[in-house]
Amino acid sequence: MKAFEYLFQFLVFPGFLFSAAVGLLAGWVDRLLTARVQWRKGPPWYQNFADVIKLLFYKETVIPAKVSKVIFLGMPLLALAGATLVSTAILVINASPKASFLGDLIVIVYLLMIPAISLMLGGFASRNPLASLGASREMKLMLSYELPFIIAVLVPVIKSGYAIKLGDIIMSQSVNGHIIGSASGAISFVVMLLCVQAKLGYAPFDIAEAETEIMAGVYIEYSGKALGIFKLVKAVMLFVLPVLMIILYFGGIASDAEGFVRNIFQYILILALIVVIKNTNPRVRVDQAMGFFWGPVTVLAMISVALAYLGW
Amino acid sequence: MGFKEKILTKSIYAFHVSSGSCNNCDIEILDCLTPRFDLERFGIVLVGSVKHADVLLCTGSTNTLCVPRIKQLYEDMPKPGFVVAWGACGSSRGMFKDSYNTGAPLDEIIPVDIYIPGCPPKPEAVIAGIKKLLDKVNSGK
């Protein structure tokens, strides 16, 4: 029976179906806000669902000649599995902090890299020069944002008494107040927001799929079902990363109605911040992104860790 | 009209094929996405790769050099896909009908679903043309 429960948690709630549906809705909020910023009307709410259903069920999947089918078609699935596993893990742990195990935060940080890595491998496997270019850019971008991301994650760990367990981080926040309220927490939240922007591949860090330079970058050879699955990965990531930030900085998803409404507002706030950053910044070059992340952002992250160590 | 047609008409990824056009039609394509006309509210997005495309927007007078490329792009497009002949040149080669390097009009190279005439077509004409395309998809083709 335990196996069925796990399978249900992974596939339906709070795993794949739930997070993909919320993520696709969040993607619509993103497109709507973008349209409003540009003084347009924007697409209807079901737009992303229509896109994904069309790609998954009604379009042909074209496989380029001489590619390795296992890698080319397996990588979207691996990316989806990684992203879904994160959403399942963090929501299950949030619902019952006892399910947390030692080092689950490290597991989640690793799992969050899987979509980027599989995107990279898929891009290299598709035998297209533009896709290889996009994949190499994705690799450099990953190298640059992972460093400040991991340093920023240390702040909630230090603030909650060196607990590398999501459950303990949530528990300590319900006792000591939210981490965002402290100086170190606020700084590391800003760092985290910038890294999430890069993890989602949104402007100004959409270098890997820059439409005007390298067409669709890593996605260029993907079509039909494989592209639809990559769209689902993007949707799940758009759901997971803000939720992870809520758990690390706003004390997790509350179980009572009032707290839950507050959580929804926090989610929309983070989403709106991401979308506004996306719409007000031009794309940077890959060396600029690296300089930005390894320079000022890493310094900020280190300052926040030092402040957290001093107890601020 | 079934569920499939409904989905296909609600989400259209357009890919822009320029085969020797004078750039007016290409600029009109971008005009359709601007705030005044905003084709994204119908789910129409311009994509960068032909592998994502549902609709090929073919502009230009299809000169001889472009013919094999147009054929290859049409074959690369995942089916079901549709072709729009855009502008006077795309529809019938326009004033370049008797030119030495425009051998055949677009609809003799690949199957064309609808024509949007004009030099260049106004965004209103484009929206009317898109409506015709959607009706064609809805009727099951």
Number of structural domains found in chain B: 1
Q: Which of B4, B40, B51 comes nearest A58 by C-beta?
A: B4
Question: Residue A251 — very low, low, confident or very high, per pLDDT cuts 50/70/90?
Answer: confident
Say what the pLDDT of residue B1 is.
62
What residues contact A296, with CB distance under 8 A and at least 6 apart?
none
Predicted confidence (pLDDT) at residue B141 exceeds the cutoff of 60: no
CB contact under 8 A, B48 and A54: no
Residue B26 is predicted with a pLDDT of: 87
| Cα A257 from Cα B139, distance rounded (Å) | 48
Partner-chain contact B41 A224, CB within 8 Å: no
In this predicted complex, what is the ipTM? 0.84
Tell me the pTM: 0.89
- Interchain pair A227, B7: CB under 8 A: no
Question: Which region among A140-149, B2-11, B51-60, B86-95 has the lowest average model confidence (pLDDT)?
Answer: B2-11
Cβ partners under 8 Å of residue B61, min gap 6: B19, B20, B21, B89, B90, B93, B94, B96, B99, B102
In whole angstroms, what is the distance from residue A8 CA to residue A26 CA? 23
Q: Hey, is the C-beta of B47 within 8 angstroms of any chain A C-beta?
A: yes
The CATH number of whichever domain residue B110 belongs to comes to 3.40.50.12280
* Residue A38 three-state SS: coil
A45 Cα to chain B: minimum distance (Å): 10
State CA A50 to chain mean position distance: 22
Mean pLDDT of A25-53: 89
Residue-wise pLDDT tens digits, A66-120: 888 888 888 899 999 998 988 888 888 888 777 777 888 888 889 988 998 998 8
Q: What is the domain range of residue B124?
A: 3-138
A39/B35 touch (CB, cutoff 8 Å), yes or no: yes
pLDDT score of B140: 66
Residue B115's H or E segment, with its range, is strand B114-116
| Banded pLDDT at A148 (limits 50, 70, 90) | very high
Does B40 contact chain A (CB < 8 Å)? yes
From A208-217, A295-304, B73-82, the region with the lowest mean pLDDT: A208-217
What b/e string do you get for B99-117 counting C-beta neighbours within 10 Å, with b at 16 or more?
eeebeebbbebbebbbbbe
- Counting one residue from A and one from B, how many pairs have CB atoms under 8 Å apart? 76
